[in-house]
Amino acid sequence: MRIIFSLLLTCTFLQAQDLKSYQLYNKSGEKINFSSMLMELSEADVVLFGELHNNPVCHWLQFELTERLYQIDSNLVLGAEMFEADNQIALNLYLNDSIDAESLDSNARLWSNYETDYRGLVDFAKDHNLPFIATNIPRRYASQVFKQGVESLDSLADSIKAWMAPLPFPYDAELPGYKAMLEMMGGHGGDNFPKAQAIKDATMAHFIVLHLSEEGIFLHFNGDYHSKDFEGINWYLNQYQDGLNIKTISTQLQDEVSPLDSASAGHADYTLVIDAQMTTSY
């Protein structure tokens, strides 16, 4: 019995050694390590990191990627969905040491998980004198599109329109992601629902293009849905500027990180598969 117990214990130990919280895959569905992905991403003009907002592995890898890309190319520009364009002034004041963290919290609409999940990225930009771009449309105007239609934005002051993609913005109702949103809502809200999403995507792409570095990389953090399947921000980037080298990362959850499930594959240039049992930050 002792021998059997010892064998079982050994097998359990060996299996525990193989436990992994995540695995990276390339576009072909082959396993790739972080270093190899890093070197390939260093050749890009824009990197769209599609995250799960409450997943700590995403946020850890975002910081690691930021730090390593900066070591390769210091002409790095950071940007994020989590900051709305009308908060850029407050964000710049913080980056320039003109206000402290408490004042930033008072003057910008920070996400509830900012301290745990995004402050490290902002402080990295601050410590290394990097731009950090607030790329998202102020949420009240995306909400306005949903409630009143995109045409309702035409009457806004030019100073407010400066916080969003130039109007009228291109829109393709046949993109699978927007069609799926409409189907998910059962037609409720009509075209306004996917258009409210689209103006977020268009605005983020607009501000990315506006702040592209001639020699460096724009590393952008956004919810996975905003760049999944090479749509959303990715699609708008190609509308606003030809010839960009865009790389996307999509985050997927699986019960086991290997092998790559067919449902998880093909959504991006790189797939970050995370163990579905991983704890969440909220």
17-60 per-position pLDDT tens digit: 578 999 999 999 999 999 999 999 999 999 999 999 999 999 99
pTM: 0.93
Of 273 and 182, the structure prediction assigns the larger pLDDT to 273
266-277 per-position pLDDT tens digit: 999 999 999 999
Q: How many other CB atoms are there within 10 angstroms of residue 199's CB atom?
A: 26
pLDDT for the residue 64: 98
> Helix, strand or coil for residue 229?
helix
Q: How far apart are CA 53 and CA 136, in angstroms?
A: 15
With b for 16 or more beta-carbon neighbours within 10 A and e for fewer, the 71-95 pattern comes to eeeeebbbbbbbbbbbbbebbebbb
CATH class of 20-275: alpha beta
1-12 per-position pLDDT tens digit: 554 444 444 444
pLDDT for the residue 10: 45
pLDDT for the residue 182: 86
CB 211 within 8 A of CB 195: no
pLDDT at 208 over 90: yes
Mean pLDDT confidence for 262-268 = 97
DSSP character at residue 261: P
220 CB-contact burial (10 Å; exposed 0-12 / middle 13-18 / buried 19+): buried
Q: What ranges do the domains of the chain cover?
A: 20-275
